[in-house]
A and B are shown apart, each in its own frame.
Chain A
Amino acid sequence: MTDFLQLSFAGLALGALYALVALGFVIIYKATGVINFAQGGLVLLGGYLTYNVHHTWGVPFYLSIPVAMILCGMVGAAVERVVLRRMVGQPVFAVIMVTIGLLFVIEQVVTGTWGFNRLNMGDPWGIKKFTVGDVQLSVVNLWTIMLAALVMAGFFLFFRYSRLGVAMRATAFDQEAAIANGISARRVFALSWAIAGAVATLAGVMLASGGSGLSPEIEFVALLAFPAIILGGLDSPAGAVLGGVIIGLTQTLTAGYQPRYADWLGNGFSSVMPYVVMIVILLIRPYGLFGTKEVRRV
């Protein structure tokens, strides 16, 4: 039981990370229709920007996160403005290739600037643990879960109540009708990339904290967030969160129990398991748990 609780907690934290990555992805997809393969790149960039703000500029760690979120958000908006806006109306495949190209560019910039070595994020959490009963939980996981929950609450409030959030949903639903009502689609597009950049930063920081260290590898989180996105439904923020949690739990519990009960499946099966779950769920619900086939009325 102790094992189970410990694993579940870690799984929830991992799921929260996936959810953050997935949210950025879903926001862009929903608002602009672009499948953004560069989301992992934004995670990477966000992590390194935080490192830079904290270590090089000497900004306190907790403050360096929001600063880096803003910076990475600006990079996201700039990418939309300079690159993606020119791709409006181009074939989906071409747009996908452009985002893959962007991923390589970001990777190059990051490794060119900060190198390949594992860097110490400088977070105050390290490998600290706290105990509840006889369950040992890591501090960084608790923070990850709390910050992700905060972001999700923020998302909810923003999209439900703010003028810009409602305008974004309107634009996602019917771009032309939104434009006809005076909503600036360009602003909505840029904003969606900015938001994606900001949440990616948070994911990057949390990935590199807690003793894991900052390295270019963190961008691969996006590969594992992908099943979460598909699982939840490409166009559903709530789905992104639920999908993230399911995948995170699946992965951690598999990693914890599979060597004991099904060792023959081999090492690293836990990173395959999310894809297995994804395939099974898609067989039952082809548009994901919350995804919509064709939302438009009648």
Chain B
Amino acid sequence: MTSPAPETQAILAVHGLEVVYSDVILVLRGVSLDVPRGAIVALLGANGAGKTTLLRAITGLLRVHRGAITKGTVQFDGSSITGLDPAAVVRKGMSQVMEGRRVFAELTVDENLKAGGFTRRDKAELRDSYDRVMTLFPKLQDRHKQTAGYLSGGEQQMLAIGRALMQSPRLLLLDEPSLGLAPLIVEQIREIVVDINSQGTSVLLVEQNATMALSIADYGYVMENGRVVKDGPGQELLNDKDIQEFYLGVGEAGRKSFRDVKTYRRRKRWSA
């Protein structure tokens, strides 16, 4: 292979991705993005920007939504995974936590984790992953026999993350893990993401909560209308005037309606 040395090579490299739904609805218009090995990368953007679509395109879930990649490539660990089916992607070492948690509410916590480990057969390895999840989420340990549907929102998010960790991924994709959770829980989720990352898993973190995401991200991207409109190191984006206004609700615009600021600003700066 002609790729650069493994240490410098990105674990995930998305290049010029175009995605359409139902053959006609163009949603991604040439998105490129890198997740360096070992990094946390944040992907920001308002509702409808195409963040979830990008994750679907990476993980092979587009087909479920009658979507398809029409242009571009996705490389994982130096080899192309463009258009691979989701199970194959998981086997290669990339896992995702879908938007809205999507735990198997009728199954117990343990059964959810068992389902998460479906792609792996080695009992000892599965046991290790299970123990790791339980150490990471003591709350799940207390409720491991409970039906997942009865867990709180925060616990369900932890279960969804734990379920993905059962696949022992080298790259974890998280789609708005803080959505709908109380600030205290969001803080916990934040720390968990840092923990997971420090244990050697690279992370692509999709968020609307930019403060949270950028505070732990090495690098960030901002999407609007199916394009990446801004990117830079986490700290830099955190201090960026536009970002502050659009996502943090501070700055000259004050606490104006989110939408107003956004459309005004978007026209003014990014879509010129």
Assess the A180–B96 pair: CB atoms within 8 A. Answer: yes
Assess the B115–A167 pair: CB atoms within 8 A. Answer: yes
Within 177-213 of B, Cβ neighbours of A (below 8 Å) are at none
A182 at the interface (CB under 8 A from B): yes
A217 at the interface (CB under 8 A from B): no
Q: Which one of A37-45, A137-145, A168-176 is at the interface?
A: A168-176
Assess the A176–B61 pair: CB atoms within 8 A. Answer: yes
Assess the A176–B102 pair: CB atoms within 8 A. Answer: yes
Rounded to whole Å, the gap between the CB of B137 and the closest CB of chain A is 17
Q: Interface code B72-102, partner A: CB below 8 Å = 1, 0 otherwise?
A: 0000000000000011011100011010001
Q: Which of A174, A175, A182 is most buried by chain B, counting CB atoms within 10 A of its CB? A: A182
CA A167 to CA B91, docked complex, whole Å: 16
Assess the B90–A181 pair: CB atoms within 8 A. Answer: yes
Rounded to whole Å, the gap between the CB of A30 and the closest CB of chain B is 11
Chain A: which residue is nearest B167 at the CB level?
A182
Within 144-185 of A, Cβ neighbours of B (below 8 Å) are at 163, 166-167, 169-170, 173-184
Q: Interface code B99-125, partner A: CB below 8 Å = 1, 0 otherwise?
A: 000111111000110111011000000
Rounded to whole Å, the gap between the CB of B240 and the closest CB of chain A is 32
Assess the B98–A166 pair: CB atoms within 8 A. Answer: no
From B64, B105, B118, B149, A181 is in contact (CB under 8 Å) with B118
Rounded to whole Å, the gap between the CB of A71 and the closest CB of chain B is 28
Within 8-50 of B, Cβ neighbours of A (below 8 Å) are at none
CA A170 to CA B95, docked complex, whole Å: 17
B216 at the interface (CB under 8 A from A): no
**Which chain B residues lie closer than 8 Å to A173 at the CB level?**
104-107
Assess the A182–B111 pair: CB atoms within 8 A. Answer: no
**Which chain A residues lie closer than 8 Å to B103 at the CB level?**
177
Known contacts A163-B118, A166-B115: A297-B149 contact under CB 8 Å: yes
A265 at the interface (CB under 8 A from B): no
Known contacts A166-B115, A167-B118, A176-B61: A181-B107 contact under CB 8 Å: no
From A174, A179, A182, A184, B104 is in contact (CB under 8 Å) with A174
Within 173-230 of A, Cβ neighbours of B (below 8 Å) are at 173-184
B163 at the interface (CB under 8 A from A): yes
Assess the B102–A174 pair: CB atoms within 8 A. Answer: yes
Q: Which of A166, A170, A178, A181 is most buried by chain B, counting CB atoms within 10 A of its CB? A: A181
A82 at the interface (CB under 8 A from B): no
Rounded to whole Å, the gap between the CB of A167 and the closest CB of chain B is 5
**Which chain A residues lie closer than 8 Å to B111 at the CB level?**
166, 169-170
A-B contact pairs, 9 of them (CB 8 A): A166-B107, A167-B118, A169-B111, A169-B115, A170-B107, A181-B118, A182-B118, A184-B87, A296-B105
Give A contacts to B, CB under 8 Å.
163, 166-167, 169-170, 173-184, 295-297
Q: A170-B104, A177-B102, A179-B87 are in contact. List 20 more A-B contacts (CB 8 A).
A: A170-B111, A170-B112, A173-B104, A173-B105, A176-B64, A178-B115, A179-B64, A180-B59, A180-B86, A180-B98, A180-B102, A181-B115, A181-B116, A182-B87, A182-B89, A182-B91, A182-B119, A182-B167, A295-B105, A297-B149
Q: Which A-B residue pairs are the 3 nearest by beta carbons?
A: A182-B90, A182-B119, A177-B102
